Structure 1
Amino acid sequence: MTEYQCPMCEVRSPVETAAWCCPRCHGPWDLGFRASPVPRDSLPRRVNSLWRYEEALPLPAPASAAVSLGEGRTPLVPLTDTVTAKLDFLMPTLSFKDRGAVMLAELARRLKPRRVIADSSGNAGTSIAAYCARAGLDCTVYVPAGTSPKKLEQIGAHGARVELVPGDREAAAQAARSVAGDEGVFYASHVFNPYFLHGTKTYVYEIWEDLGGRLPEALVLPVGNGTLLLGAALAIDELHAQGLITRKPALLAVQAAAVAPLAFAFRAGADDIVAPSFTTRTLAEGIAIPNPPRARQILTAVRATGGSFLTVTEDQIRAAQRDLAARGLYVESTGAASWAAAGTRDLGDRTAVLPLCGAGLKSGLAAAT
């Protein structure tokens, strides 16, 4: 294995013995890993999961598919002449979080903890629970008390213990972190652990493969904690550095106007969150994160590609979800936020791919107002 690195303090620590966060600043880890080029001409002969991009992954492909559930390889479906959707809601647990969860579960399987814990508003917890079940790992998921009953049922169905935490998403995170340092506990944090980001980056590798070795002019991505966007940024940097793409697509980050701390900071020219905490609720619960721990990295990644932040209203999210359903694509409201943003003038006539990243069955159709 490689080693964890703190992007703020430059502290380094072996993966096998590291605490779940930097011991100095308590921030999230990055990973000291350099990807090798993925040979595109060999991909058709490879396993049909994200492990097909093994040169780009920080863990060697397992000898068997003991942890994999066949995640990845989701289809691209045109929505307009220039905008294409990637159907990540067709993943095994019905959300894109499976891309990162399989990496965390495989890491935990190799580290052999006594138990795995996670915190989530639903989708990440479901993914961690499913992949821990697949790997034979004991799992507990901390969730806010207001989490969708359908998501709670799914987490429990995979055999994980569900800890309902009074309060919001941040309260659930704090509850998990209070026991994350206990002996024998592996904190499968989709925010703090960089292995998750190296799983989500396969989203871009798949687009690159399916578009014949190129990427669109823009990637439109919903952003709360930024795990999909930061994974996308990793893949873009790797592909560009290896000469496998000649230009970087713009990262267009989408937030709900009701909870948009990153968009506020971006427009203020700030390097970190500067606004008072947002407390307004939003239909896009998966990106309702008032203080994302990787805020600096998200803002830097968007600016590095000449991208920007787009915000959408609750009415736009409702309309986008219903429009997608009318096209045969039933997704949850967080995933619909990107389609809502695609209709703004910021996108223009650029070619773009956006993720439909969670199934509508998880939370239902947003009520009309």
Structure 2
Amino acid sequence: MTHAIPGYVCPDDGTRADVRTAPWCCPVCGGPWDLDFAPDPASSLDPASGPNSLWRFGSALPLPGAFSVTMSEGNTPLLPLGERIHAKLDFLMPTLSFKDRGAVMLAEVARRLGPERVVADSSGNAGTAVAAHCARAGLSCEVFVPEGTSARKTGRMRAHGAAVRVVPGGREAAAAAARAEADLPGVFYASHVYNPYFLHGTKTFAYEVWEELGGRLPEVLVLPVGNGTLLLGAALAAQELARRGVRPPALFAVQAEAVSPLAAAFAAGAEDAGPAEQRPTLAEGIAIPAPPRARQILAAVRKSGGTFLTVSEEALAAAHRDLAGRGLFVEPTAAACWAAVGPAAPSDPLQGRTAVLPLCGAGLPAPTAA
């Protein structure tokens, strides 16, 4: 029996498209797609009876029928960091970052569509996650990376069998090169920003929090935001769970002071964000000067009653050391939320509320001699 794959819809102009024939972005406005899908709130949601992976939330996911691509992604533990704050250890994923949540969805979609090859653009974790899951699905994969991407990161992609194309210039140049390939026949663009299936993978973060907290969500979810894929996934889950009677959390979005276009737009009351200067920061993973989904991110935070917080480089470094001292060695970007709401934060932004924050990516130790 074949099952229909939900199609795309543009959140700005309502354009609809079939996943099998759609371009990688809305042909009218050029913006990212959303998915023409909403789970039935009356459907059974019994994750305990499902597999030990994010597919345990199958009734809330947009891919009907049996799945085949998995490395037991998801189901990561919650760890108390204080009286009111829990950390969700998403760095314990198969490729060591939360990007596995979205990558497994993209790989399953691609497997069903059967393209000649899959292309992606990334400067690190997303490329590794897509490469690994394409390998699992038996798909040919090519990852476009900006020049200067570390050999350790590109080596991990190649280890999974992906072809790595180094593009002169920065992150946007790599994205432009991948998108040029995405317009060719037989290519599936596994974009963690433009393809909404990725967001329906990341929403399982919040579904798991709901499960782990006994059928409720915390008062606040504190989330690092660059392209906003984790925050928008969490917002999706909160909306879907609200239809089941679950009280939604406020969304606190965290950016590095060095590159914070969304925080600046939020403070100015703007509906969209202008481009920011690309400056160096320890939080490389969220240093996105012009997020394509800026309007959606800002709207989601406002709708939730949340806010934006920014953190200095000094605070990032201190939070990174503090987490390591607690036994949690994560990448610097993953320390941003702890810097924003942890004990060293300059104020108490949570104001006594309960919160969950993700530790999104593992720290990689320096190589040692044999």
TM-score, L = length of structure 1: 0.95
Q: Give deviations 1:249-275, integer Å, cap 9, x for gaps.
A: 11000000000000000000000013x
- Opposite residue 37 of structure 2, the aligned amino acid is F
- Tell me whether 1:254 sits opposite 2:249 in the alignment: no
CA contact (8 A) 1:324 1:336 kept: yes
User: 1:358 aligned to 357, 361, 367, which one?
Assistant: 361
Q: What are the superposed Cα offsets for residues 174-207 of structure 1, whole Å, 9 maximum, x if unpaired?
A: 1111111101010000000000000000000000
Kindly indicate whether the alpha-carbon contact (under 8 Å) linking 1:51 and 1:61 is maintained by their aligned counterparts in 2. Answer: no
Counterparts in 2 of 1:236 and 1:155: CA distance versus 1, 3 Å: same
Q: Tell me, in whole angstroms, the C-alpha distance in 1 between the residues paired with 2:162 and 2:116.
A: 14
Unaligned runs of 5+ in 2: none
Report SS of the residue matched to 1:179.
helix
Contact 1:150/1:362 (<8 A) preserved = no
Is residue 24 of structure 2 the alignment partner of residue 25 of structure 1?
no
| Partner secondary structure for residue 251 of structure 1 | strand
Instruction: Write the distance in 2 (CA, Å) between the matches of 1:362 and 1:27.
Output: 38
Which residue among 149, 157, 181 is the counterpart of 1:147? 149
The aligned runs of 1:187-198 (5 Å cut-off) are 187-198=189-200
Where does 1:229-268 land on structure 2 (aligned, <5 Å)? 229-243=231-245, 245=246, 247-268=247-268
Q: CA RMSD in A?
A: 1.3
Question: Across the two proteins, how many residue pairs are aligned to each other?
Answer: 358
Tell me the distance in 2 between the aligned counterparts of 1:320 and 1:166: 33
Of residues 166-175 and 82-91 in structure 1, the stretch that sits farther from structure 2 once superposed is 166-175
- 1:13 to 2:17 alignment: yes
Structure 2 counterpart of 1:367:
none
Give the corresponding residue for 2:162: 160
Aligned to 1:328: 327
8 Å Cα contact 1:332-1:363 kept in structure 2: no
**Tell me, what secondary structure is at the counterpart of 1:360?**
coil
Structure 1: state its 5+ residue gaps: 365-369
CA separation of 1:112/1:30 partners in 2, compared to 1, >3 Å: closer, same or farther?
same
Asked if 1:114 is matched to 2:113, the reply is no
* In 2: Cα distance, 1:242 partner to 1:10 partner: 26
Q: 1:207 is matched with which residue?
A: 209
> Could you list the per-position Cα deviations for residues 144-164 of structure 1 after superposition, in whole angstroms to 9, with x for gaps in the alignment?
112232211111100001111
CA distance in 1, matches of 2:207, 2:252: 18
SS at match of 1:265: helix
Q: CA deviation at 1:347?
A: 2.0
SS of structure 2 residue aligned to 1:17: coil
- Report the secondary structure of 2:181's partner residue: coil
Instruction: Provide runs of 4+ in structure 1 moved above 3 Å.
Output: 37-40
- 8 A contact 1:57–1:198 mirrored in 2: yes
Aligned partners of 2:105, 2:281: CA distance in 1, in Å? Answer: 30
Q: Which residue of 2 aligns with 1:220?
A: 222
Please state whether the residue corresponding to 1:44 is helix, strand or coil: helix
Percent identical pairs in the alignment equals 66
What CA distance in whole angstroms lies between the structure 2 residues aligned with 1:363 and 1:180?
A: 35
CA distance in 2 between counterparts of 1:36 and 1:328 reads 41
Provide the rounded CA distance (Å) in 2 between the counterparts of 1:277 and 1:248. 31
Spell out, residue by residue over 1:201-227, the C-alpha distance to the aligned partner (whole angstroms, 9 max, x if none): 000000000100000010000000000
Q: Which residue of 2 aligns with 1:348?
A: 351
Give distance in 1, aligned partners of 2:181 and 2:303. 36
